[in-house]
Amino acid sequence: MGHTQRKAWRDYAVEALMIAASLIVLLPILIMIFGSFKTNVEVLDFSLKLPKSWQFDNYKKVFDEGDLMRAFLNGILITGVSAIINIVTTSAASFVLVRRESRLSNFLYLFFFMGLIAPMSTITTIRVVQWFGFYGSITSVIFIYASLNTAFSVFLYNGFIKSIPKVLDEVAFLEGAGMFSVFFRIIVPLIVPVNATVAIMVFMSVWNDVTIPLYFLTDSSDWTMPLSVYNFYGKFSRDWNLIFADLVMTSLPVFILYLFAQKYIVSGLTAGAVKG
C-alpha cells in the first residue's frame, strides 16, 4: 500500500469518526424534537421512537400559555440593540487603536484583550447598575450584553482594520476629510464582513443566555425566550412533551440564523488573517 492510499484510508477513518461523533451529538436533539410531538405519558421513555400520534397541539399550547410572543419580542429587542451598540462602539474604538500607534493604544488594546479571559463579577455589576438607577430594566441588560462582547469584537475588528492600507486614510486626509469622515466613508464599507460576523456572534451569545436576564430583569414580562423555558418548567415540570416543545421553539431562531449565516461567520473570522 503506497503513501497516497494510506493517506486516503486515514482521511476516511477520520471522516467516519467525525460522522459518528456528530451522530452522538444529534441523539439528544432528536429525542427532544420527537418528544415534543408525543403525549405526556409517551414522552417519558425518552427514546428515539417516532410518536404514535403526532401532537401538534403541544406547540400551540406552549405558545399560548408560555407567552412566547412577548418573550420573542423581548429577545429581539435585547439582542438587536446590543448588537448595534457593540458594532458601532467596538469598530470605532478599533479604528482609533489601530491607526494611532502609541504606547497608550497598545495598552488599551491589551486592556480590551483581557476581557476575553477576565470573568464577569455579578455582584459588582449589580451594584454599578443600581448606582446608575436602571436595575431591573431591559436597558441594563442591553448595556451589559454590549459590554460583555466588547473584547471579542475589538479583537476581530483590530485584525481586519490592520489589513486595510493606511494609504486610503492618508489620501482622504489630503482631500480634507476628517477622522469621522474617513471612518464612516472608507472604513465602514470595508468592514461589512466583520460587522456580519460580530452581529451573528452577539446574537447567538445573547439569545442563548439565561443568567443575565435572571439576575437583572425583575419583571417576568421582560424575560427572553430561554428564560421563559425556566418559568415554563416551573409550571409544567411533569409534562416533558411541552417542555421539549418550548425548547425547540426557543432554539429554532438561532438554528435558522446559524444555518443561513455560517458562511459570513467563517468569512468574517478569516477576513483579517492575511494582511493585504
CATH code assigned at 91: 1.10.3720.10
Residue 276 lies in a domain: no
Q: State which residues form the domain around 91.
A: 60-270
- 43 in the same domain as 70: no
pTM over 0.75: yes
- 19 in the same domain as 134: no
Query: Tens digits of per-residue pLDDT, 149-168?
Result: 888 888 888 888 888 888 88
Range from 75-84, 126-135, 249-258 carrying the lowest mean pLDDT = 249-258
Query: Tens digits of per-residue pLDDT, 36-55?
Result: 898 888 888 888 888 888 88
- 148 in the same domain as 77: yes
| pLDDT of 204 | 83
| pLDDT of 53 | 86
- 127 in the same domain as 173: yes
- Please state, for a pLDDT cut of 90, what percent of the chain lies above it: 6
One-character DSSP codes across the chain: --HHHHHHHHHHHHHHHHHHHHHHHHHHHHHHHHHTTS-TTGGGG--SPPPSS--THHHHHHHHHTTHHHHHHHHHHHHHHHHHHHHHHHHHHHHHHHHS-SHHHHHHHHHHHGGGTSPP-HHHHHHHHHHHT-TTSHHHHHHHHHHHTHHHHHHHHHHHHHTS-HHHHHHHHHTT--HHHHIIIIIHHHTHHHHHHHHHHHHHHHHT--HHHHHH--SGGG--HHHHHHHHHHH-TT-HHHHHHHHHHHHHHHHHHHHHHHHHHHHHHHTTSS--
- 76 in the same domain as 20: no
Q: How many domains is the chain partitioned into structurally?
A: 2
| pLDDT of 77 | 92
Query: Tens digits of per-residue pLDDT, 4-13?
Result: 777 777 777 8
- Residue 274 pLDDT class (50, 70, 90 cuts): very low
| pLDDT of 86 | 92
